[in-house]
Structure formats: structure tokens, C-alpha cells
Structure 1
């Protein structure tokens, strides 16, 4: 009886698996029975559940274990220690000579090499899925695509394996993937609930879109702020794929999107026309045929853009390949109503499977076109670089090796050639010292990446962008830089790694001094404070005797007295050495507090720094990206924990346990009046409130501060316009991401550590502050000619001119620091991080005049 039951179960299950294959592969069959399908391996049909990441990895490992057509490797781990795996599929012969294939393929990227015999080189295809964790259909499609490419014995599949090396990365965001999968599975109904208002279709904050730190990883291919992206770029730079895919989901009532994206204005001019005019149309034919075969509705060209090089679908374009985006209407769960028929999870998966296979088919069939394009792309890159009137860029901060080295690291991760600057020189009024500055020549194969990180674009053919209109990384890092145009400069040694920090600390008998101009100085200070060391910040420049000579120090320098501590000199020296090693910074040692000029080391111009105990409000209505940026900054750059409290729970918070409260952009109108009164009293008692953007507007509206919003000027209403132009008209009025120049008060504690009054600032909001009635409360304001890069209308430039960027407001013994902008945007605005960190570390020392 038991045997009969097992046979019956096997028969039924086989029948279900066959039905699944017919649904997802309606024109394909002939699968190797020794290779389990995803549903056979998982024990449920694809689309019935959201598959956990560990099971996705296990299936990829299973395919590699049972077939000589696949191998699998781990390219790294996420913050939550989930494996980032890549399944490699090709013929057994190709897999046995994979390194030789890679070596030959890379000759296509080397302008100095003749073109190899491309008939013997397979196409390199990278299928990437699920970068947004709550767009889950693509990871399920990855399972089915992998199954077909490994298990199918059809001649077409064999052709793919012989003429292609296919990488499948099933989840680019494993942490977000599991967050959403668990949500959808735990709220699934039996039968499924299609009502869009059902809890299954509406994740609670922060949702599954982002990674562990609430970042959008589809914006991180250029900044490389996160470990997932850093691991992936190493893989990408190892292979330079001919094709990279990026599978997404969009609104439930949409259909299906594939590239080409919006023509011209929203395309990246660095990429080159062949990418848009040849490769995209060639591949669109295969995509639309796959959709036509299914009868699925689709669109292209109307939406999205291809401008920002930090997208997964754009990065490959700047590296000689083709990157494409696919967008599928989402079921956001297992079943959901639409304006027509209900959409099922299985349906969303099937469309992505179809375009996945269409991608492989198209690239293999058009292999020579792709390979010749890659060769020509890099040859043309070198020609363009040689013809560029800018022969090199020089950069480097003479006082901040940490920020300079961070930028060097970014360039090296993108395989941009960087050289030591062998000669101290002054350019554009800036001094670039040998040993502290570097050169990036334009005459190199990564010329297009050089342009991407250094160019300041201000002219656009379009006025509406899906994302930011500017990404000039050298401005984001706030580094002194200049163009070299006359002739190619002499180059020093090429860098192969970031210069190693060589901090030194000698035991001091009187005091230690830390230069706050260094990016990593807050990390060093935090280590001392958390270990009970007393430290003071200089409100005036001063000098000290170091190694027998007088040395000058600027605003913000940190003084650690040897005698004025609760620990003995030996223990203090040990803690200072630890801080030095953690930060890579040198602490100066002095044996006397006496100098011939300036304030003495015991002056009242030194204020004691309070150990920061910070709380940040999070939850529904709070902009999770900005909250995540603060969290990630403090974790990764400072090593400082921060208490994150859901907005719904703040009534339970005892504010006296904290000296700093951070409110990032968001909606706070549902905060109770009683908490607002408690917050006011807490500030009056000495607390530091830090607000950003929407939170700044809210604080003003609730009377927490005396500063005011600027009065909005009446805009001239245009005459009659066509209805279809409304989106473009109103989109152009927003400030969606522009780099402006601010003038900062170097004597204000918020600007301690800066050496130039001019600072690039990123703005993506339309919140404007009224100038303060006090002449001393403006830490930063925009200059009279502020526009540096990005799209912005002339009327918005006028609003920005001379308007405050950062204001201080005092109440009792406390203060509020009002930011109109986000100093920590996407984890790569090193140039403005210090403004935020100064507010955090020095806020308690500020007495607002």
C-alpha cells in the first residue's frame, strides 16, 4: 500500500512539474530527467511561494553538483551574511577552459591588442536579478532560467552553451529579498487574497526594496558604498560581460517594459550612439518576439532613463557591453486585482523567464556584433581621451589623506588608472603637493569612467529625470581638483592599491593633539570618548611645540590633556594608540602648554566634547534612504551605534537618556503634541536636535525653532499647454538632484575641519529657509553663483542664490541644527559628511548667539 501511495505521489508530482514546464516553457521541452526542476527540488510549484534566498542558493549548488554544464561560486557575503552566488553555465568544454576564454575575451577590452579570433570566443552574458528585494518575480525567474539552460537538451539550448558563457546572479540583494519573501509568505491566504488593500500586498516600513542599511543597491554601481556592490564590481571587472541584465517590477496596473529607454535626452552621452542606435534595437527584436509569443502586453521608450552610470543597466554600457532594464507589473504578493484580470505571481515570473531566454538567444545569435562593439568601444575610448583638450585631472587634499585615499580607492575599484603626482604645482589657485595629490590621465581605456566621475554637466536635452541628473564624484568627495590642459603632465608611479596609512604616536607628557581636518578624525575621537577619555575641541586656532618646533592648528583640532583624565598616562597612551590604529591618523605629542603666540592649551577657547548619545526616529512616513544613510555612516565610518526608535514608539522614549536627536526627511505630522512639548523642554535643557529637509520644515511649523521658511514667490503661470505635457512641465520645476556651491563659516563648529569656504553641496529638495535675523547663526549659505552641475531651471537657481543651507537655532541651554539638504546622500558624499558629524560631536558645545 505504501509503495502504491509513493508511486501515485510521484506520478502526480511529475504531472504537476510537467504542467509547470508547459506554462513557463510553452515551446520548449526535452529536459534531462536527471536534473531536478526547481519545483522538484523545492517541493512546490514556482509561483506558489516566495522562495527564500538560502533555497535559491541551494538549487544553484544542486545544478552545479549534478551537471557538468554548470559551476557555482560565491563572490562574497552581504551584511547579514547571505551568500552572493553566481552560477556559470556553458558547455563542458567551455567550462574546462574558462580561464583561457576569459583571457581571450579581455583582449577585446585592450586597445593595444589586435582583435582575437572572435569565432572561438563565446559571448559573455550576465543575467542579474532582484536588486530590489520586494520585486521578487525575477529571482524565481532566475531559478527557471538556470534550469532550462542547464537541463534542456534542445539544439537551441546546446547552441547557447557552446557559444556563450552565461552567468546567473539570482539575487543582487539577498537581504532585501528575504525580508520581502518572509513578509509575503507569512501573510499569504488560502485561497490567496487579491484585494490590493490586504496586508500581504503592503509591507510595513522599511519594506524589502533595500539592503540591510536601507540603501537602493541599483544606485550603487558607481558609488560602491556597500559590500554587495563592491563584491559585484570585482566580478564585473574580472569579466567585462557583453551583456548585463537588470530585472525589476513596477506598478500592478502596468504591463511589461524593456529597452530602449526614453530616446536622446535621457541617454548618457558618455556611452556612445552605437549602444543606443544599434545594440538596443537589435536586442529589442528578440524581446518583443518573446513577449508576442506569450501574448503579453509591453511597452518601450516611453519611460525610465539611461543616464545615471550607477544603475546596473547602465554600468555595462560604459564598459563596452550592453546593459538593459526589464520592468514587470508586480503582483506584490501571490495574487492581486488589476484594472483588468487578476495578476498572479506565476504570470509575473513567466514574462521574466521569456526575456531572460530571449537575452541569451539574442546575444548568442548576435555574438560577433557584441564582440566587435566591445573592441571598437575601447579603441574609441582611447582615441577620445587622446583628443580631449583636458589631458589629466589632478586632485588631492593636502590636509585630508583619508578623503583623498577614499577617492583613489573608488577609482581603482573601477579600474581607472591613477598615478602619483611627482611635482608640487599650483593650478587654478590651488596647491597640489607631491605625495599628497594624484593624477588621472584622460588618455586611457577607462576614459568614459574618467569623464563620469570628473565632468560637471550643465547642458541637457531633457528636463525630467527618473533619477538624479548629476553624479560628479569629485564634487561629492569635496576634493580640491583641477584640469590640466596645456600638455600631458609627467606621471609618477601608477597606483595599484590605496596608499597605506602610516600613523605615528609618541607618548606625550603633557597633551595629545588630533588634526580635525582629516576625514577619519571623528572615528578616532569616538574611540577615545567611548573609553572615558576627556577631549576638548578648539574654538580658536592655536599653536603647540611638537618635536621641538612650533606647529599651527586650526579650528576644530582636538586636545587630549594627559593629566586631566580619570586614567593614568600609560593607559591614556594605549587608548590614543588604539585610536590612531583604528583611524590611520597621527596624534601629535607635546610636552608643554606654552607657546609664543595664540591661545594657550588651557584657554577657555577649548570646549569639552560630550560623548554623543544619539537617537534617530524611523518608521512609517520617514524617508528610509536618509535614515539608512545616517545609520550606515555611523556604523561604517565611525564605529558608533545609534538608537533607532520607531515613530509610533517615541512617546515611550525617555529623552533624558540622550543628548542628540536626529530627524531625517519625512512626515512627522502624526507626532503627538505631548511629545513635541517634551522635545521642546529637552532642547531647552541642553539637548541637540538635528533636522534634515522635511524635518526642518516640520520643526519650524511646530514652533520648535524661531527660524522661518522663505516665503514662496508667485511663479508666473504659463499660458495654455497641451495636457500630455503636464508631467514634463511640472517635473522640470522640481530640484531632483543638483550640485550647488555653498559658502561655509569656517569659524562655526558645524564647519570645523574645513579649509575652504567654498563647498559643493547636493540638493534634491525645494525647501528654502529665510535668512536668520541673527548674523551669527548661518553656518552655510549658497553663493551668489551656486550652480555647479545638474539640471535646474533658472527660476530655481534664483531661489537658491544666497539662501541659507544650514542654520543654528538656540533655546535655553540647547540648540537645533537645521539642514535644508542631506549631507550623507547615498553614502558617497564624503565632502559634506563632516558637516553632519560636526553637528553630532560638537552640537553640545555650541552656544547659539
Structure 2
């Protein structure tokens, strides 16, 4: 009897808590009892715990199972193989006709098709949550929002079900979310600890913000470097939502932010003014009304950037929809003290739930208006494209078929129309060969994305940038390109053709592989892993091959058949297999005597050492930069890299490795003994690849002696208003911009390149002079280097006197300094090879 009594009490407490939960998040709402609330399904009130991603998916699966209004779709998987899901909610009528609803929306976004009758079309609303894993309130809000739509009995809930199709992505970054949730839940106190110094509120490096490879996925809608973004953008183009949300968290002492963002200064140059001047303010009235009702403080029109196309709140703006960013004060755990009192996890969740509802109400109230805007957006895009003096953009790298394929696929993924170029063209001093170049017309629905890919922008309304100030993607891919006059278009490209090279038959003296192709480094590493000996030819030459005489550049790989531990048949068979996998053309030669240049047995030919790479990571080190390197080697080379935390460096025997990578960061925690070991290893032949601030640290410990650029500039005013400090000081930063550098093509770091000029990406104020050794500055900036993005006049003058890459010799070893970002965001394919050259040929660079 006593057990039954306590069970009843526990049940009643649970019910009252559940009712209190519903009243807290949805004041005055009643619900259909046939639909389980999240707290009923999970067994705890929302906000008591950080819900694991698999449980969020299971809750959505339950909604799909019991409600005819809901259907759950898996659109792909993350790096850690968590499913990426979309829960779609609609009325029975719309659900039964869902494919036709989608087709009408696609038709609306296609100016070549007749405009459908928008009066009968539902609003298409995409509620996206949780791109940053350690901003967890939004995924909890996603469950509550789905529950409200399906079970709510208010007039608004009924209207949403009837007048909209709602797509809910509960977490754009499942891997990062689970990393953070585990941290917060495993460090939770009973009672919760609000002290900001508590371990719960201070994640271990690298934290849960980023995905598996430590990338910020809220920058990846444009680059598409990761499967999470790839499947999301593919899904996006299947629907073209009228409204897309992007829910975030900010500092605990903040309040709440919703759009509009900062006028002009934070706006994307290709987005129509109507988006910023009319639609954003229209929706903001709904957000303010809802926030006023619950008494939450908020702000608008400050700080947050809407210019970079890779944001989840900006990409929709460039596709005829309205992208909306929301930021709530964060509890960064379950309870944290703030200047306004303790902030609870439930409070942060409620703010996002309220604005989810406000978004849906605004969307259905303005349903026809937003449909008309979607149509207008793409119609005006084509009209503007026709008026653009550049009728086409022509692009293509004559020597790098792999990089061409990557860029072509990238354009197609963003639904940009691309055509074959059937004519040899010479434009702006550049040659574009028939069959090795392509044309992108400007008069097309994706004209504004075409501008994003090919335009350089140098003039801005503001000089302070939250993120990148340049994003010309053709430059990121290192792609030769030019605006072209009207010219005949070849066949439209619908897919990217994979080459089918024929492997040469018969006995070979040696095999040759051109290093120009983007995937040649992967081929090299695969050969080395297979036990095949590979050498590099350090000067240009001409050989007689199965295709006749062929000119080869310095950096060409050679597989000499007289120096293999495997038989001729085994080498040939393995090379054929790997050439097919890596899409590489292999040349056969039957003699070491070349037609021109050095012969194959020259002293200027030498073995390529197989890389054994270690990289320091951990507190103080840039996780973004380390992640870019890890991602590059994993996904583009298939090369394992040992990642060691700085606090474990004392246990490392560097003589087990030949290359050490130091991403930007602070290495002052390393012990004197560790530093001495590092110096000894370098002096005995080790190679350090150092990026930006890591190079300053190497200078401080005396391993290198490079010199900062110092020039006389105008002094700052002695007195300025306090309110101007952010703008004045912020304008001194290099806000992620693009510059033209000049390479020494004879230096091993430039192997694989045929054009001495290369666009580079820079996001640092570190300016280092060229080396005093006249041979060891293989990459420096041109006289007029500024291509795109913001830079102050004083920083531009410093840049002109700076080096992009410097080599520092240290007895038998060397340090290779990169002062730009060769692997930025997994999308600077044009400069990746500089970094890979440093890994494969570092011991030959000084």
C-alpha cells in the first residue's frame, strides 16, 4: 500500500511538473493528449538535462509514428555517422499532396516556368536549429516546437497546420552537440552550480561548437566542405523555403538578438534591398510582440553579420527566401549567474520556442507576399544578369583536371548553370583552351550566386567585420577565370565526367606522374603506403612516352622500376589500381635518356620521403586551423596525422617523425626541456611547418630569426570619443581578404603550379619581411596585391613589404612559415598544394 501511495505521489508530481512545463513554454495553450510532449517521452522536463541527439531523433520518430501530420526523413549522415534528419509537418491535405506542393514551390523559383497561383500555396518554413553544438537550447526548442505544432489547440497552431509546410532540422551539427551535451550533463551539479568558473560552464578544448573536424558549420553553407552542409544544401534546393531560421546562443550577460542586423555594414552586396528594408522589419514586429509578452529583453541592428554567404541566415537571402538569425543569452550549462541574475537552461530554450512561434505566424500572415518575393527574386536575377557587362565568366585550369572537377561539381551543387567552352579564348592575358575550360552565363536565375563565385569586392559601407570580408570562390579554388563577352555556349553540363585514363601496357623503365593535378599528392601517398619507391624530378624535362614527346615540369614524380622491392608486375598492377582510384594519368618511359632537360638519373632527382606527421593541438591552439589541416590530410590525401595535446608534448620523441605542424596559437606552456628537444630535432634535420602566430613564438624561443615589417605610418589621434573605439580599432584588423602573391616556380613549395601568380587568403595582422637569404622567400606579394575584401591603407603598405611564405634554415633542418591561410575552411583548393608540398618536399626546401 505504501509503495502504491509513493508511486501515486510521484505520478502526480510528474504530471504537475509537466503541466508547469507546458504553461512555462506555452502560456494558455492546451494540447492534444494523444501526442506525447517531449518531457513525457524523455522522462524529464525540458531544461533539466541536455538531450542526447539520438533521443531527439527518437522523439521525432515517435511523432512520425503516431501523427499523420508528421513525416521524418533522413537526408544524410555526419562524419561520425549520426543521421541528419528533417521532420516535415503539414495538414493531411498537404501531406497527401506533398510532392506537388514541392514541385509548385520549385516552379515558383524558376522564371522559365509559368508562375503558379500563390493564393493556394502553403508557406514553406524551414526551422533550422543548433549549428553550433555548444549552443544547445535550440535543439530542445525544436522538440517543443514540433510538439506545439502537432498537439497545440490554439487558433494559431491550427492555422500553422493548415497554411504552412514546416520543415524542422533539430540540429545542424549533431556531432558537436553530443560532444557538448556529454560535457554539460556529466559535469552537472545537484543542485546546479551557477558559478561561471564551475567546470560545467567551461568545456575542454576544442569544445562542442564545431563538428568532427573542428569546423564551424555556420560558415559551410557556401564552401560545402562537410557532409552535414552538403546534404543540407542539396535538400534546400529541393524546397526553396520562404523563411529559414538559424538559432544561436551568445554571452551569458547578453539578452536576445533578432534581425534586422546592422544596416548596410553587415549586409550582403548581392541581396536585394527589399529583403533588408521591407521584409526584415516586417518580421521583426512579430518577434518584438512575442518577446514583449513574456518580458524578455532584446536588441536589433547591431554587431551580427549577414554578409558572408556561408551563414545559415545569409544563404537563404541569396535564394529568394528570408534567412533569420536569432541569438539568446546562454546558460552554457544548466544554470549560470549573469548580471541580471541566474540564467537557466529552460529560460534560454523558451526564448527560442517563442521566436519559433513568431516566425511561423509571420510566415503564414505574409504567405502570398513571400511567395511573390521568391518569384520576383529569381526574375530580377535574370534581368540583372542580362544587364551585367560580363555576359559570361570563363574559367578552367589547363593543367589541373582534378581541381577543375572539384570546382565544376561545386558550381553544380549550388545549382549554377555551366556550359562547355568549344572555342580557344584569350581574355585579359589569359588563355582558355577548348575542352579544358567552361562558361558560366550571367543571365541565369542563380546570377547572384554567380557574382558570389566570381566577383571581387573592395568597397564597403563598414570597416569592421564579424567574419570574412571576401569570399570569391573562383579564387579559393585557384581557378584562372575572366569576365568574357558574349560568346557561343557549348553543351550544358549536368554532371561532372570522371576521366578514364588508359594505363600504359608493356615493360617500363620508369613511370611518370605529373604533379599538377590536385589529387597527385594522394596518389603519391598511396604509392608509398603500398611499398612503391617514388622519386621527384627537381627540374623540367621532356620525355618520350606512350603518347609521344611530353614536356614535364619540376615536381614530376618518377617510379623507377630498377629500385623496387616489388616485382615489375606487382608495381604495374598496383599503379594501375591506384591511378584509377585517384583519377591520375600515368606515363610510361622506356629509357632514362630524355629528349630535353635533365635525365632521369640526374643528381637533381631524389627520393621522396614518406611523411610521418605530428601536429600540436589543445588549449591555446587554433582549433579551426588544426581542424583544416586534419581534414585536408584525412579527406584529400588519406594520410594519418598524429594529433598531440600541448600538455603531452613532453612525452613525444620527435625523432619518430619527420614533420611537425604548429597551427596558429600560443605555445608558451611548453617546458624548457620540450623546447630544447624541439630545437635539437630541427637542427638534426626535422621540418617544422608553422602558421602565423606560431612563427612569432618560434622567433621568441630563438629557433628562427625572421623580422617583422616596420614602417612609419600616421599616428593615431591622441583623443577619440569612447563610443568610437570598436569601429576605430576594428578597422585596423585584416578582415579575411584575398591578395595576389608571386611564386618562385623553381622552388619545391611551388611544384605543381604553372602560373607564378596565385590568389591567397589572409586573416592576420602578422607581417614578416622576406628572408635575408635571397633564395628562401619563395612566395611574396605582388606590387599591387589587393584583390578583394577589406584592408586598411596602413596594413596594405605593410603587406606590400611582406612575405607570404618564408623558409628558415636551422643547421640540417628548417622551418616553413605560412603567413596566409592555405587551407582556409576546407575550400582553398588553390593553395592546398603549397601546404602539401611543404609536407612531402620539406626536406628539400632550404
TM-score band by shorter chain is over 0.9
Match of 2:501 among 495, 500, 503: 503
The equivalent residue for 2:53 is 53
User: Counterpart in 2 of 1:19?
Assistant: 20
What is aligned with 1:665? 664
Distance 1:27 1:694 in 2: 55
Whole-angstrom distance in 2 between the partners of 1:567 and 1:155: 76
- Does 1:118 find its partner at 2:118? yes
1:4 Cα deviation (Å)? 5.2
Structure 1 residues 670-709: aligned runs within 5 Å: 670-709=669-708
1:549 Cα deviation from its structure 2 partner: 2.2
Q: CA–CA distance in 1 between the matches of 2:156 and 2:713?
A: 64
Give the gaps of 5 or more residues in structure 2: none
- Answering whether residue 519 of structure 2 is matched by residue 520 of structure 1, we say yes
**What SS is found at the alignment partner of 2:665?**
coil
Q: Which residue of 2 aligns with 1:535?
A: 534
Task: Determine the C-alpha separation between the residues in 1 that align with 2:684 and 2:549.
Answer: 41
- In structure 1, the partner of 2:99 is 99
Number of the residue aligned with 1:471 = 471
| 2:281 corresponds to 1:315 | no
1:146 counterpart residue number: 146
Instruction: Find the counterpart in structure 2 of residue 574 from structure 1.
Output: 573
Helix, strand or coil at the partner of 1:342: strand
Query: TM-score, normalised to structure 2's length?
Result: 0.99
Q: 1:659 and 1:719 mapped to 2: Cα distance?
A: 51
Count of matched residue positions in the alignment of Structure 1 and Structure 2? 844
Secondary structure of the residue that 2:107 maps to in structure 1? helix
CA contact (8 A) 1:91 1:158 kept: no
Runs of 4+ aligned structure 1 residues displaced above 3 Å come to: 1-10, 711-715
User: How far did residue 341 of structure 1 move?
Assistant: 1.1
Give per-residue Cα distances to partners, 1:685-707, cap 9 Å, x unaligned.
11111000011111111111233
Moved more, 243-252 or 721-730: 721-730
| Distance in 2, Cα, partners of 1:458 & 1:443 | 24
In the alignment, the residues of structure 2 paired with residue 225 and residue 521 of structure 1 have an alpha-carbon distance, to the nearest angstrom, of 20
Report the Cα distance in structure 2 between the residues aligned to 1:737 and 1:105, rounded to whole angstroms.
36
Query: Which position in structure 1 is the counterpart of 2:424?
Result: 424
DSSP-derived class of the 1:337 partner: strand
State the alpha-carbon separation in 1 of the partners of residues 643 and 400 from structure 2: 31
* Cα displacement string for residues 243-271 of structure 1 (whole angstroms, at most 9, x for unaligned residues): 00000000000000000000012211201
CA shift for structure 1 position 736 = 1.7
* Structure 1: distance between partners of 2:34 and 2:17: 17
Q: Which residue of 1 aligns with 2:301?
A: 301
Q: Larger deviation: 393-402 or 525-534?
A: 525-534
SS in 2 for 1:313: coil
Alpha-carbon distance change, 20 to 548 in structure 1, aligned in 2, over 3 angstroms? closer
Q: Identify which range, 543-552 or 338-347, moves more after superposition.
A: 543-552
User: Are 2:821 and 1:822 aligned?
Assistant: yes
User: Displacement of 1:339 after TM fit?
Assistant: 1.1
Per-residue CA deviations over 1:483-533 (Å, capped at 9, x if unaligned) read 113xx2111111111121222221442100000011110000000111221
- Other structure's SS at 1:512 match: strand
Q: For the Cα contact (< 8 Å) 1:607–1:845, is it kept in 2? A: no
User: Which has the larger displacement, 123-132 or 708-717?
Assistant: 708-717
Aligned to 1:740: 739
Residue 714 of structure 1 and its aligned partner are, at CA, apart by: 5.4
Tell me whether 709-718 or 92-101 shows the greater mean CA deviation: 709-718
SS of the residue 1:312 aligns to: coil
Aligned to 2:727: 728
Report the alpha carbon displacement of residue 444 of structure 1 after superposing the two structures with TM.
0.2
Give the match for residue 350 of structure 1. Answer: 350
CA contact (8 A) 1:609 1:845 kept: no
Return the alpha-carbon distance in structure 2 between the equivalents of residues 581 and 696 of structure 1: 40
Q: Residue 742 of structure 1 aligns to a residue in which SS?
A: strand
Q: Distance in 2 between matches of 1:202 and 1:756?
A: 48
Q: What is the DSSP-based 3-state SS (H/G/I as helix, E as strand, rest coil) of the residue aligned with 2:327?
A: strand
CA contact 2:713–2:794 (8 Å) conserved in 1: no
Mapping 1:545-564, distance limit 5 Å = 545-547=544-546, 549-564=548-563
Q: What's the offset of the Cα at 1:5? A: 5.0
Per-residue CA deviations over 1:3-39 (Å, capped at 9, x if unaligned) read 555544433322211110000001322x110110000
Q: How big is the alpha-carbon RMSD for the aligned residues of Structure 1 and Structure 2?
A: 1.1
How much has 1:548 moved relative to structure 2? Answer: 6.3
In structure 2, the residue corresponding to 1:767 is in which secondary structure?
A: coil
Partner of 2:604: 605
1:492 equivalent among 490, 493, 498: 490
Q: Find the aligned partners of 2:151 and 2:717 in 1 and give their Cα distance.
A: 61
CA deviations 1:148-199 (Å, max 9, x no partner) are 0011122221111111000000000000000000000000000000000000
User: CA deviation digits over 1:579-620, x for unaligned, max 9?
Assistant: 212211111111111123211111111121000000000000
Cα distance, 1:578 vs. partner? 2.5
* Alpha-carbon distance in structure 2 between the residues aligned to 1:165 and 1:518: 46
Question: SS in structure 2 opposite 1:125?
Answer: strand
Moved more, 741-750 or 545-554: 545-554
Separation of aligned partners in 2, 1:676 and 1:588: 46
SS of the aligned residue for 2:399 comes to coil
The answer to whether the 8 A contact 1:697-1:709 is kept is: no
Displacement of 1:802: 3.7
Displacement of 1:719: 4.7
Q: For 1:733, what is the secondary structure of its paired residue?
A: coil
1:812-839 deviation digits (Å, cap 9, x = unpaired): 2211111111200000000100100000
2:480 matched residue in structure 1: 480
Question: Alpha carbons of 1:657 and 1:715: their partners in 2 closer, same or farther (altered >3 Å)?
Answer: farther
C-alpha offsets along residues 89-130 of structure 1, whole Å, 9 cap, x if unaligned?
Answer: 111111111001111111210112232111211010000000
Segments of 5+ residues of structure 1 without an aligned counterpart are none
Q: Retained in 2: the 8 A contact 1:609–1:844?
A: no
| Residues in 1 aligned to 2:714 and 2:66: alpha-carbon distance in whole angstroms | 67
User: What's the CA shift for 1:316?
Assistant: 0.4
Whole-angstrom distance in 1 between the partners of 2:300 and 2:18: 33
In 2, Cα distance between equivalents of 1:75 and 1:47: 28
Map of 1:630 onto structure 2: 629
Q: Which of 263-272 and 608-617 deviates more?
A: 263-272
In structure 1, C-alpha distance between the alignment counterparts of 2:28 and 2:282, rounded to whole Å? 22
Once the two structures are superposed, residues 512-567 of structure 1 have per-residue CA deviations (whole angstroms, 9 ceiling, x without a partner) of 00000111100000001112211111111011110262211001000110111111
Cα offsets for 1:204-263 (capped at 9, x unmatched)? 100000000000000000000001000101110000000000000000000000000000
| Distance apart, 1:569 and its partner CA | 0.4
Match of 1:85 in 2: 85
Contact 1:504–1:580 (CA<8 Å) still a contact in 2?
Answer: no
Q: Which residue of 2 aligns with 1:765?
A: 764
Structure-2 separation of matches of 1:771 and 1:103: 58
Distance 2:476 2:215 in 1: 18
> What is the alpha-carbon distance in structure 1 between the residues aligned to residue 709 and residue 647 of structure 2?
31
